[in-house]
Structure 1
Amino acid sequence: MKTNRDLSRLSESQLEDAALAWLKELGYAVAHGPHIAPGETAAERDSFGDTVLIGRLRDAVARLNTGIPAEAQEDAVRKVLRVATPSLVQTNRAFHRMLRDGVEVEYPRPDGSIAGDRVRLIDFDAPSENDWLAVNQFAVVEGQASRRPDIVLFVNGLPLAVIELKNAADEQTTVWSAYAQLQTYKADIPSLLGYNAMLVASDGVAARAGSITADQEWFKVWREIDAPPSPSPSIPLPKGEGGTATGMTYPPSTTGRGDGGEGQQAQQASARLELQTLLIGVFAKDRFLCLLLHFTAFEEDPDTGAVSKIIAGYHQFHAVNAAVEETLRASGMGVWGETHDPQDTEGRYWAGRMNDGAEGDRRAGVVWHTQGSGKSLSMLFYAGRIIRNPKMQNPTLVVLTDRNDLDDQLFGQFQRCHEILNQTPVQAEGRDHLRELLNCASGGVVFTTIQKFLPEKGERMPALSDRRNIVVIADEAHRSQYDLIDGLARHMRDALPGATFIGFTGTPIEKTDANTRAVFGDYISVYDIQRAVADKATVPIYYESRIAKLALNAAAVPKLDEEFEEITEGEELTRKEKLKTKWAALEALVGDPKRIALV
């Protein structure tokens, strides 16, 4: 009898049991919602309107904050329970601050003075010190609405994740039916969703995760657990009967039936892994807390005030963690782990240590994530992660572009999500302002274009700081301006001789491009277009060759000549001839509306 389960045949309750079994293997305690409901012997709530398991929260607060008086601890618990505002997303934002930074409290000292402190709700440094609980059929009553989410995950009594499951055997339901149910919860039981860190929807075949503000487009697959080299966009198939590539097992089969042909087996194996991969990849204790702390951002539109909650995708999560490890190596300010040997194959995804990186070489590497897959957000998450790393000792980050418009775009992204940085980024207005910003003793996120590192004519760029905890983050690192010998990168090395360089790019580095590698090093992470298309992070582009005839309206020529002469009046003859040649080129003709319509 086979032990692998074909999840597409499971009922909703069986799928729920399978998910709980995987969570139990991750170290979660499992409870049946009706058993801990109000009025039961093992009740953990006074009413169905309570969405926090208050006893567990109080126990965790006492355990994690032994140096803070009990009265202040209880004050922190009250603030958590009263965090609600009229806006669900603003409630969630306020709670996320408490989760990340602790709850602000005050209490009297023995001498009568007032002490300020922060009460920790979660131990991010030691995940196992927290209380992990998965509860199924967790009924919530709010107003006239009564809802029963399939699975709620609690950490220290706080309902941080909701998992909604649907029966894949029902042709009328899909993963988006589960997504729609989650949207209903937002409207009907916001008291539960105000504490939420992650939403998951699955129909047993597909599985998607997103934030409370994410629409369908931003509910994404979580395809990798530990970011191993992968030769194709497909999920690795199980290794042997009864197990998977991750070493996790499925609940025993009760059907006693085979899965059909080999092709069908492979398809079903891939399908049943999707939910399991998401649960392990996201909700393993250390990864989930890392996502909460370092990979969750709130973006506020400066014009409308609308707030969106952003959670990193799997490619961003693994790439940034690898980039931080490589930065510690390159800066000489930390230790690192084993190297990985990425496979140079199509549809690849990889993140890990470089083979040739040496300690203190100041070349952290290059993250190549194809255009449209969230490169700016990857840079943001990397910046926040580096800033919070104690080994970097309050670093200064220099975010570098080669054009003013790119500088403005990237600066805008960081500014809208500045909370994750614990500081407000600053845009250098000129060379003098840049030098002033970089002369600081520590800290700071500085945006600039590479041209501002140009010295005065005939002079060498003066050294602004020799600190090793300065990190230069370059956007589109493959460009020619980063030439170490003749280009502007040389002036940056003169100005910041101890800085570590890391590059982010949406296009691959040419194999012959020695300059980029000399400045930044080799790839840290690769997420190519085939993988991005498979994940629906980008859309495919198709090319169809056609011949479109070009023709010039002879009647328009005299008018064009007349207007050209008027515009170029006063220009030297040689200059006018150059302009004529430039604008008479084929490039000007191919944009003709009639030709575009034909194509």
Structure 2
Amino acid sequence: MLSFTEDAFEQAVIEQFENMGYTHIYAPDMNRTDYSRPLLDDVLRDCLVRLNRNLPVMAIDEAILKLNDFDAGSLLQKNIVFMDYLQNGITVKYAVKGEERSSVVKLIDYADADKNDFYVVNQYTFVENGNNRRPDIILFINGLPLVLMELKSPSKDEVGAENAYNQIRNYMKDIPSMFYYNAICVISDLSTNKAGTITSGLDRFMEWKTKDGDYENTAYAQFDTFYEGMFQKARLLDILKNFILFSGDGQKLIKILAGYHQYFAVRKAIEKAKIATKTDGKGGVFWHTQGSGKSLSMVFYAHLLQEALDSPTIVVMTDRIDLDDQLYTQFARCAPFLRQTPVQATSKENLSKLLDGRKANGIIFTTMFKFERGEKPLSERRNIVVMADEAHRGQYGFDEKIVIKENEQGEKEAHTVIGNARIIHDALPNATYIGFTGTPISAKDRNTREVFGDYIDIYDMTQAVEDGATRPVYYESRVIKLHLDQNTLALIDATYDALEQQSDAATIEKRQKDVGADGKCVGSRVYHSIPVRRYCQPLRKVPR
């Protein structure tokens, strides 16, 4: 390891990308005249012309002009504009025979990775505001510097991933225009390889621990797992388009890159939904432990459903008003990414109005209690997906029961009680149902499986703690101090003395040995104020 210098490490990373089909360019060998340009201009133009053959040159020119001339604003605001261009294309206007037309210039062909140009460029010197900086590696796609990597020598104990993170933060101050076009930042020192965004703190840079969605060996991710798992061409394009978003209020926006567990789980859920909409409507159960970003996974899932199922209507259902508000707020903050504005049903009548007659699209939030039994379904469409949060709870039963209740006159009457799942399925009989939960479903919980089907993906507490996605939870027994009535204690003493006189010495000795190991605990937890003595083992269990 001592001979493994930073230069050797850089070459090893480059080799990883070459093996995945990237073209390597050593930047000092490039024919550059303007070191203040973050874009590879010739590559960018050629790629845009090739990817948008149906558009005239003037449309391409306007798109490039927009890429080079952002409106005034902060680095983050300019990056928000660029990410919209990257994910959705650039809207341009141009004239054909005096008639104004508009169209969208796409920067990347997301359907076919091979139609794009991928370059891994090292030692790319960039000059801005008198600052001369040279990031270790930049990944250019179609001439756009989308991924910036800072590497630190694995042979120096005092230099590591944290220093790489600080170096990137300094770059953002010294050469900010390079980061207008940045999608992902990487910090690496061989043993630690993590990815984040321009707003990520060091604690939010995360490892990518699997190449194919198998969680079998994720405790310690290998060097090649990170690069091959995240930067295979098609997967990188998928991440760029569908797994990076901005969230927050007007005061503070953060740029979020999905973790590996979110990426693979959502992709599995999408494939399951495609099948479920054509078969039994069971979209599965998505179990990701609390603190692992489950609500954002739901946003990524809703985003991808739009294309996967041809503009479905999504109903996000909870069993509590506060959860409904929390999820609605999260989705509302991500409205630009979702390309539509979520709505929240205010009543049963409003929910019925939002669903009745709707043919496509829409993200509707509701509590399950806004569904009511009716003679007519709210919609019989198949491209409706119901996303149920906290699906492990028992309110989703199909059962129909007869319950006897007393009326105001004291007379007993029979009432029919129908499980909420039955009511919801009667309202949306052809919908697909997927359950999201932060806790495991009991093996005895048949209702949840009847509604949603089996697990799609499991990301439990152990794995989340290993990944640093959530903090470990330690359970410590708590001593409960109980103060019993003194008269009762005296009665216990007298009773024990009487029983002792009726027992032989061997029985008494055995009893004392039995309680020797945990007498202290028993005395503290159960009796507290009772001395731990010969009757420490209670004759019968005292209720806590």
Q: Fold match, TM over 0.5?
A: yes
1:111-150 pair list within 5 angstroms: 112-150=98-136
Partner of 2:433: 501
Are 1:277 and 2:217 matched, yes or no?
no
Q: Does the 8 Å CA contact 2:210/2:218 hold for their aligned counterparts? A: no
Structure-2 change in CA distance of 1:551 and 1:477 (3 Å): same
| 1:370 counterpart = 2:289 | yes
> Take 1:533 and 1:85, find their aligned partners in 2: how far apart are those partners?
41
- Whole-Å Cα distance in 2 between the matches of residues 398 and 361 of structure 1? 18
* CA deviation after TM superposition for structure 1 residue 461, in Å: 5.3
Q: Does the 8 Å CA contact 1:454/1:461 hold for their aligned counterparts?
A: no
One of 352, 355, 375 as aligned partner of 1:435? 352
Q: Which residue of 2 is the match for residue 173 of structure 1?
A: 159
Corresponding residue SS for 2:181: coil
AA partner of residue 225 (structure 2): T
How far apart in 1 are the matches of 2:307 and 2:146?
22
Q: For the residues of structure 1 that align with 2:102 and 2:388, how far apart are their CA atoms?
A: 40
Deviations 1:218-239 (A, max 9, x none): 1011111111251x5434xxxx
Tell me the equivalent position of 1:252: none
Q: Distance in 1 between matches of 2:3 and 2:346?
A: 61
Instruction: Map Cα deviations across residues 478-513 of structure 1 (whole Å, 9 max, x no partner).
Output: 111111234211111111111000011000011111
Match of 2:147 in 1: 161
Answer yes or no: is 1:380 the counterpart of 2:299: yes
Paired with 1:470 and 1:46, the residues of 2 have a C-alpha distance of: 55
Of the two, which has the highest radius of gyration? 2
Per-residue deviation, 1:549: 1.2
CA-based RMSD:
1.6
Question: Which of 30, 36, 39 is the equivalent residue of 1:49?
Answer: 36
The amino acid across from 1:56 in the alignment is: V
Structure 1 residue 145: Cα displacement = 1.2
- Once the 2 structures are TM-superposed, how far is the Cα of residue 422 of structure 1 from its aligned partner? 0.6
Give the TM-score normalised by structure 1: 0.76
Q: Which residue of 1 aligns with 2:188?
A: 202
Is 1:307–2:239 an aligned residue pair?
no
In structure 2, what residue type is equivalent to 1:89? L
> In structure 2, what residue type is equivalent to 1:234?
A
Corresponding residue for 1:319? Answer: 265
* Counterpart-to-counterpart distance in 1, 2:3 and 2:387: 48
1:413 matched to 2:399? The reply is: no
- Secondary structure of 2:150's match? strand
- Separation (CA, whole Å) in 1 of partners of 2:134 and 2:215: 40
Pick closer, same or farther for the CA change 1:214–1:549 going to 2, 3 Å: same
Pairing 1:448–2:372 present: no
Give ranges in structure 1 of 5+ residues lacking alignment: 1-5, 37-42, 236-269, 333-359, 554-589, 591-599
8 Å CA contact retained: 1:34, 1:137: yes
**Cross-structure match for 1:544:** 476
Question: SS at 1:214's partner residue?
Answer: coil
**Structure with larger RCO (C-alpha < 8 A, sep 6+):** 1
CA distance in 2, matches of 1:211, 1:9: 31
Q: Higher strand share goes to which structure?
A: 2
CA contact (8 A) 2:219 2:467 kept: no
- For 1:508 and 1:207, the matched residues in 2 are separated by 30
Q: Give the Cα–Cα distance (whole angstroms) in 2 for the partners of residues 484 and 148 of structure 1.
A: 63
Question: Which residue of the partner structure matches residue 377 of structure 2?
Answer: 463
SS state of the match for residue 394, structure 1? coil
Q: In 1, distance between residues paired with 2:480 and 2:299? A: 44
Flag structure 2 segments of 5+ consecutive residues without an equivalent: 400-417, 486-524, 526-544
User: Percent sequence identity over matched residues?
Assistant: 44
Aligned positions, number: 467
Larger deviation, residues 502-511 vs 80-89: 80-89
| 2:228 counterpart of 1:296 | no
Runs of 4+ deviating beyond 2 Å:
83-86, 232-235, 550-553
Deviation of the 1:154 alpha carbon: 0.2
For residue 10 of structure 2, what is the aligned residue in structure 1? 16
Write the mapping of 1:341-360 to structure 2, written as runs, cut at 5 A.
Answer: 360=279
Q: Of residues 21, 28, 33 in structure 2, which corresponds to 1:27?
A: 21
Shift of the alpha carbon at 1:109? 2.4
CA distance in 1 between counterparts of 2:107 and 2:388 reads: 36
Secondary structure of 1:194's aligned partner: helix
Conservation of the 8 A alpha-carbon contact between 1:376 and 1:413: yes
Q: Distance in 2 between matches of 1:499 and 1:473?
A: 10
Q: Secondary structure at the match of 1:443?
A: coil
C-alpha distance after superposition, 1:537-560 (max 9, x if no partner): 11111112242314599xxxxxxx
Cα distance in 2, alignment partners of residues 552 and 540 from structure 1: 37
Q: Matched residues in 1 for 2:455 and 2:301: separation?
A: 15
Report the Cα distance in structure 2 between the residues aligned to 1:52 and 1:141, rounded to whole angstroms.
Answer: 13
CA contact (8 A) 1:472 1:501 kept: yes
1:479 aligns with 2:397: no
Q: Deviations over 1:55-86 (max 9, x none)?
A: 00000110011111111111111111113643
- With over 3 angstroms needed to count, the CA separation of the structure-2 counterparts of 1:178 and 1:454, relative to structure 1, is same
For the residues of structure 2 that align with 1:414 and 1:148, how far apart are their CA atoms?
A: 39
1:461–1:491 CA contact under 8 A, matched in 2: no
Once residues 285 and 380 of structure 1 are traced to their aligned partners in structure 2, the CA distance between those partners, rounded to angstroms, is 24
Match of 1:564 in 2: none
Q: Which residue of 1 aligns with 2:68?
A: 81
For the 8 Å contact 2:37–2:126, the answer to whether it is kept is yes
Q: Which moved more, 1:168-177 or 1:467-476?
A: 168-177
- Contact preservation (8 Å) 1:84, 1:191: no
1:309 and 1:552 mapped to 2: Cα distance?
A: 57
Q: Distance in 2 between matches of 1:441 and 1:478?
A: 30
**1:100 matched to which residue of 2?**
87
Give TM-score, length-normalised by structure 2.
0.84
